[in-house]
Copies of this chain bind each other. A is one copy, B any other.
Amino acid sequence: MISLDTIQQAHDRIRPHIHRTAVLTNRTINEKANASLYFKCENFQKIGAFKARGGLNAVLQVAANREGTAITTHSSGNHAQAVAFAARQVGMPAYIVMPRTAPEVKKAAVRGYGAEVIECEPTLEAREAGVRAVIERTGAVLVHPFDDDRVIAGQATSAKELIEDFGQESGFDLILAPVGGGGLLSGTALITHYLSPATRVIAGEPAGAADAILSFRSGRVEKAPFIDTIADGLMTSLSDRTLGIIRTHVTDILTVSDEEIIAAMRLIWERMKIIIEPSCAVPLAVVLKHPDQFANQKIGIILTGGNVDLGKLPF
């Protein structure tokens, strides 16, 4: 059970290591959406994504509790960098299992934080086997990307800052976040429930990775019918842990097409002059797709990260 106190302690723990990221507004996008949007810019966070928060909260506790002498995880994306970064902060070795097909620039970034990259075949089985081998060899502690209360409590601190900074005088009508494995969404929903119970939390999901919406309806962790989306950070399925929180505290999950994601991404790039990942654009795409549903509301949006390959842009 992740209590308000747990999240507050997480925030105190990670605060010296993270940025309190800016919240931006944009008049043109507000006019287009006919709503009042507050963008929490985790693209400006350490390692370029909110995942630094959860990774730090877990790794700092592993170090403080002497649970092990090394850290491991498997990830092809931002969580790999988050864990490598967090391990460096506490001076512990990190072993990151990454699919050999992951972009060289991502492997280089992980190595740049001093972690060892162990390459594996690009399947979930190979990744999990890689982590088991690391644990046997080194005794490292696994920090899962989302199926971990400490990670979820860390991710919750982004919405916590958003509510503290811009949801006090007049509360948010709703807060939107994208959903992949559900770590960010779970944390966002919990802290919103604690700090601003009248605020609804809604998730955006790519139509090309529509597992969370199925799981949300059925109450069981489902696989997506197919995976085909530009939002490469949102391909993962939920876990029982994240699904449980989401079913309790999230109002709805809405899907958007890749065309809608790219249009929203482009709008943010062109108008706000900031670089965000495709996954980031999903909540704005949801708002623009349902103008009546969101009209005249005060909406917080978590912009999750800005790690894009500039050589492979969709426009």
Contacts and interface: CB of A to CB of B under 8 A. Distances in A.
Contact of A313 (B266, B276, B310): B310
Interface stretch (A4-12, A146-154, A267-275): A267-275
Interface string A276-315: 1000000000000000000000000000001000110101
Contact of A315 (B43, B44, B48, B310): B310
A313 B311 CA distance: 9
A74 B310 CA distance: 33
Minimum-distance CB pairs A-B, first 4 = A273-B306, A273-B275, A43-B273, A310-B315
Contacts of A274: 273-275
A22 interface: yes
Contacts of A266: 310
Interface in A251-277: 266, 269-270, 273-276
A22 to B, nearest CB: 7
Contacts of A313: 310, 313
Nearest to A277: B273
Contact of A311 (B275, B310, B311, B315): B315
A310 B272 CA distance: 13
Contacts of A275: 269, 273-275
A48 B28 CA distance: 12
A85 B48 CA distance: 33
Contacts of A306: 273
Contacts of A270: 310
B315 A273 contact: no
A269 B43 CA distance: 11
A112 B266 CA distance: 18
A232 B114 CA distance: 40
Contacts of A310: 266, 269-270, 313, 315
Contacts of A43: 273
Contacts of A276: 273
